[in-house]
A and B are shown apart, each in its own frame.
Chain A
Amino acid sequence: MADSARCPKILTANFGVTDSHTLAVYRSRGGFTALARALSSMKPQQVLEEVKASGLRGRGGAGFPAGVKWGFVPQGTGKPVYFLVNADESEPGTFKDRHIMDFDPHLMIEGTILSCYAVNCHDAFVYIRGEYGWLVDRVQVAADEAYAAALLGPNILGSGFGLELIVHKGAGAYICGEETGLINSLEGKKGQPRIKPPFPAVVGFLNCPTVVNNVETVAAVPWIINHGAPAYRAIGTEKSTGTKLMSLSGPVCRPGNYEIPLGLPLRELIFGPEYGRGLLPGIELKAVIPGGSSVPVLTAQEAMEVNLDYESLAAKGSMLGSGGCIVIGDDANMVDVLRVILQFYHHESCGQCTPCREGTGWLDALLERMLDGQGRPDDLQLIERICAGMIGTTICVLSDAAVMPARSFIAKFRSEFEALLPKGDELEDYVPLAVQAELPRSWAEPASAD
């Protein structure tokens, strides 16, 4: 089991330090030493191999190994390689990247330069969500400082390696956090995910090889270069290495961002003295959404048993996701909570794929109807049927992101939903769905005799 006391601060070392966002303070605390070292003594391939060996996984939600992703970029195609830092943090319950950019923008910049060096990229973009307006300024100021200190530009630290970093402000769409939606948005197109294949590593931004990495992912790279892959692997579990920034929210005594060694028990994050310190007085734990609103919910009991790493959560049927850990107390009604979640996905569906465009709205409407006391006896069956049509049938996973909470909430807290629905015999003109479904089928038989 991970020991939080021995966990080094990889992402949050400068959090809380006065003026930590300035280049001077960042440098005084050892900033840009990894970059200097890599540029002077390592080849790009060595940086890539080091990150690959560290086991660092993408922190945006999917958990795909970063080094492996970099390895997919074809080299020597004659096309430029683009590196996009995904700072469109918008999964409900997630607010970790904003603290990295707010308190330690140079950490992200150093990580970005190192990542670009590894994939032979000379043009990088930081795509920041529109709602983080002040962070656009903060990152831009940091980038300006870095340019002035020759940490960005055509010849970084005299090494001959050059990188242009452009800070780009999104317009506030959840779907632009999906990597191909982000690419389209950055190209000035409507922020809608692209159909895959081809994958962005081969055909991405401006149809060139492109890597998209989360802010937290690139922020871990300087430490890995400074301390080596084995030191990183020593933290966390065998397959979930290193640390993760968890955004803890809900009725806990001390909500906030916490850097945890992967493998930390979820119970520790909620109740541990260094972390959440338990729920507010008078509130009992009812459920936890461990990785942002799109992942399946855990019951209180499941939450007490699970560790915060990719594999343990998968074994419980959920996911670590983006690390947005939403604690739900017994004062909340799960139907209300689900309604809020489904409203969000309804609002944010880009509208390209039919199942998601129509399904997210339909689910939201059914929940609204249910909460208005207008639910029908078969609504839960109908919701399941809609979910079955939505999951895995779309270009991106926004559709799945609506289905996973819907299914898990209903499966684990069914009685709260059923309490809002009338029984069949309470309605006068009620015909069960199953019977309705039979009616047209029966008269259709002769026509479909082929």
Chain B
Amino acid sequence: MANVIIDGKQLEVALGSNLFEACTLARGELLPHFCYHPVLSIAGVCRMCQVEIEGMPKLQIACNTPVKDGMVVRTRSEKVKTAVQQILEFHLLHHPVDCPVCDQAGECALQEFYMDHGLYHADVDVEDKLRKAKVKPIGRLVMLDAERCVLCARCTRFLSEITGTWELGIFNRGDHSEIDVTPGMTLDNNYSLNTVDICPVGALTSRDFRFRKRVWWLKVTDSVCAGCATGCNMTIHHDQGVAYRFKPRTNPDVNRWWMCDHGRLLYTQIAGPDRLRTPWVRSASGGEPAAAGFDQAYRRIAAWLEQAGPGRKPVLVASPHAMLEEQYALQALLGEQAGGRVLGYRLAGAEQQLADGLLLSADRTPNAAGARRLGMAELSAADLQTHAAADTLLVILDNDLAGLSPEAAQALTGFGLVVYLGTRLDATARLADVTLPGLVYAEKDGLFVNAGGRVQALHAALPAPGEAKPQLALLRDLGELLGHLPAWSTVDDVRSALVARVAAFGALAGGVPPAGLALDAPPEDAAAGAKGGSKRG
């Protein structure tokens, strides 16, 4: 360990560790910087993080200085302030200062540092500024403005060190240096929008998000990506009930600083014409289902139950998309309490694609591990067929069985009543007798368990569309219809019951921290972890 004094504050950090990080600890905020990034190689080119180190005649860049014992460092001295202001002046020399039309405005490092350190009179005339490429689409999702670029080389380092795809490079030299795409390539890998995140200025902007919202109107809610079993930590950026973008939330144990484009663009599917805003009911005499009120939907179920006679045991299908609390509520209320039988949580082999080796998991569902830990198994269309009977009630929780398998769709027609807790007017909703509108992950609180066995919390960012209700409320209503009123009414109640009653989740008693909580892996996950490389620990 090394004892260092930074701005008069004494602290102990690892010998040889990065001085930039030690300064962050001491200051409680980052040093000004463009090129430094915690997981990319050190470029040392922006020269913004210069600090004064006693015994060294010149200012040193903190990002490439290993900490030595006894170092005395000043980050706010006049000498440092003057130097940073000078460096900032160089950065802004040829910058177009087009903030009013720049999407980065409001979250731009140049703007922030100018307010903190700049505030000088510009000595270069607009007509003397260098001209470079503007409004250049360099990929399906990324737009380049080379004039705004500060050449920090974060994007090029990301594409060489993280994805290994090398789409971008810095071409030419000196003040003609310019970020551009490698000849013959476009920036179209599944991680392209990360370059927009790490671009400290408005040089790389998202073609998806451009001009759709000024960032200062956006509210930010912590969440977890539902696009695959990795469970990338993210934030939902939203305003007035509309999601505008997803951004990764740093979690070194899960997604580090990144998120894939596939996951980011899932926000576009939250709303949409096929979202269910009301229940859909098919009348007892048949025909196509039609939009209806909850009264009508529940009357239809109650009528069928009455006709079928008392003591009907429902057949249940859970979902790898449902939250842990919902899976548990289905299992505990409609299963144990009402005597139902959980056939499984997903059709065997469904929603599996190729993993990309970086973040995107082969399993494109967010909470299969949660269902497995509740003891649920996969089911097949044949299992459904076995239980299909005219006097049997089937309850499907958030699982588009009919859309995933024609055989399953066929099996559904054999049940007396199919009640589907869905979110979209999908194939299953069209086959079900009663479809109850639920919420998607961005609209409710709950937990997902990722492939590595980490429990992570999601928070409601958006309002429920139309009459849609949380699935827990729908399950509670169904329980009541079946004559079993649950003891719980909120997510927290269900979570408490889960923690108290399922040993696998006992560790959650103390709550779930923002970075999630790693559970001990059950045998099958441990085996998968050994093969795929566990991200935990």
Contacts and interface: CB of A to CB of B under 8 A. Distances in A.
B212 interface: no
B86 interface: yes
A362 B129 CA distance: 10
A185 interface: no
B86 A362 contact: no
Interface stretch (A24-32, A41-49, A128-136, A343-351): A343-351
Contact of A358 (B58, B66, B93): B93
Nearest to A359: B90
Contact of A354 (B87, B120, B176): B87
A397 to B, nearest CB: 12
A317 interface: no
A346 B64 CA distance: 26
Contact of B87 (A175, A389, A433, A436): A389
Interface string A388-408: 110011110000000000000
A74 interface: no
Interface in B33-89: 42-47, 50, 58-59, 64, 66, 83, 86-87, 89
B190 interface: no
A292 B58 CA distance: 24
A190 interface: yes
Interface stretch (B167-175, B253-261, B450-458, B509-517): B167-175
A280 to B, nearest CB: 35
A431 to B, nearest CB: 9
B45 A352 contact: yes
Given A351-B177, A365-B128, A394-B47, A358 B90 contact: yes
Interface string A99-114: 0000000000000000
A447 B116 CA distance: 9
B172 A362 contact: no
A358 B95 CA distance: 11
Interface in A311-365: 346-355, 357-362, 365
A440 interface: yes
B63 to A, nearest CB: 9
A195 interface: yes
A199 to B, nearest CB: 13
Nearest to A442: B119
Contacts of A437: 120-121
A357 B174 contact: yes
Given A354-B47, A395-B44, A190 B90 contact: no
Interface string A254-268: 000000000000000
B120 A350 contact: no
A444 interface: yes
A419 B46 CA distance: 36
Contacts of B94: 358
B203 interface: no
Contacts of B121: 433, 436-437, 439-440
A115 B298 CA distance: 91
A175 B58 CA distance: 22
A385 B89 CA distance: 11
A351 B151 CA distance: 9
Interface string A195-213: 1010000000000000000
A436 B176 CA distance: 29
A389 B59 CA distance: 11
B347 to A, nearest CB: 50
Contacts of B170: 190, 351
B124 interface: yes
A382 interface: yes
Contacts of B90: 354-355, 357-359, 362, 389
B44 A362 contact: no
Interface string B287-313: 000000000000000000000000000
Contact of A357 (B44, B115, B124, B177): B177
Contacts of B44: 195, 353, 395
A441 interface: yes
B123 interface: yes
A365 B93 CA distance: 12
Interface in A148-196: 173, 175, 190, 195
A444 B118 CA distance: 10
Given A195-B43, A358-B93, A437-B121, A389 B174 contact: no
Nearest to B118: A440
The interface centre, meaning the residue of B44, B46, B91, B174 with most chain A CB atoms within 10 A of its CB, is B174
Interface in A424-449: 433, 436-437, 439-441, 444, 447-448
A276 B43 CA distance: 46
Interface string B153-184: 10000000000000000101111110000000
Contacts of A348: 173-174
B174 A347 contact: yes
Contacts of A382: 123
Given A351-B151, A365-B128, A346 B115 contact: no
Interface size class of A (residues with CB under 8 A): 35 or more
B87 A362 contact: no
B45 A395 contact: yes
A173 B172 CA distance: 12
Contact of A350 (B58, B83, B89, B174): B174
A89 B215 CA distance: 52
B85 to A, nearest CB: 9
B120 A357 contact: no
B440 interface: no
A354 B59 contact: no
B338 interface: no
Interface in A208-246: none
A349 B173 contact: yes
B201 interface: no
Given A354-B150, A395-B45, A389 B89 contact: yes
Nearest to A389: B86
The interface centre, meaning the residue of B115, B150, B151 with most chain A CB atoms within 10 A of its CB, is B151
Contacts of B83: 389, 393
Contacts of B177: 351, 357
Contact of B174 (A351, A392, A441): A351
Contacts of B124: 362
A406 B415 CA distance: 89
Interface in A364-400: 365, 382, 385, 388-389, 392-395
A91 to B, nearest CB: 17
Nearest to A357: B175
B87 A393 contact: yes
A16 B173 CA distance: 40
Interface string B88-104: 01110110000000000
Contacts of A447: 115
Contact of A444 (B64, B86, B119, B151): B119
Nearest to B48: A354
Contacts of A448: 119
Interface in B405-422: none
A312 B174 CA distance: 34
Contacts of B42: 195
Nearest to A364: B175
A361 B87 contact: no
Interface string B483-520: 00000000000000000000000000000000000000
The interface centre, meaning the residue of A361, A433, A436 with most chain B CB atoms within 10 A of its CB, is A361
Please provide the 7 A-B residue pairs with the shortest distance between their CB atoms, ordered closest to farther. Answer: A389-B86, A351-B177, A361-B175, A358-B90, A349-B174, A195-B44, A436-B121
Interface of A: 173, 175, 190, 195, 197, 346-355, 357-362, 365, 382, 385, 388-389, 392-395, 433, 436-437, 439-441, 444, 447-448
22 contacts: A173-B173, A175-B173, A346-B175, A349-B174, A350-B173, A351-B175, A353-B45, A354-B47, A355-B87, A358-B91, A358-B94, A362-B90, A362-B124, A385-B86, A389-B83, A393-B47, A393-B50, A395-B45, A433-B121, A440-B119, A440-B120, A440-B121
Given A351-B175, A392-B59, A433-B123, 7 more contacts: A175-B173, A197-B64, A350-B174, A354-B151, A357-B90, A361-B174, A433-B121
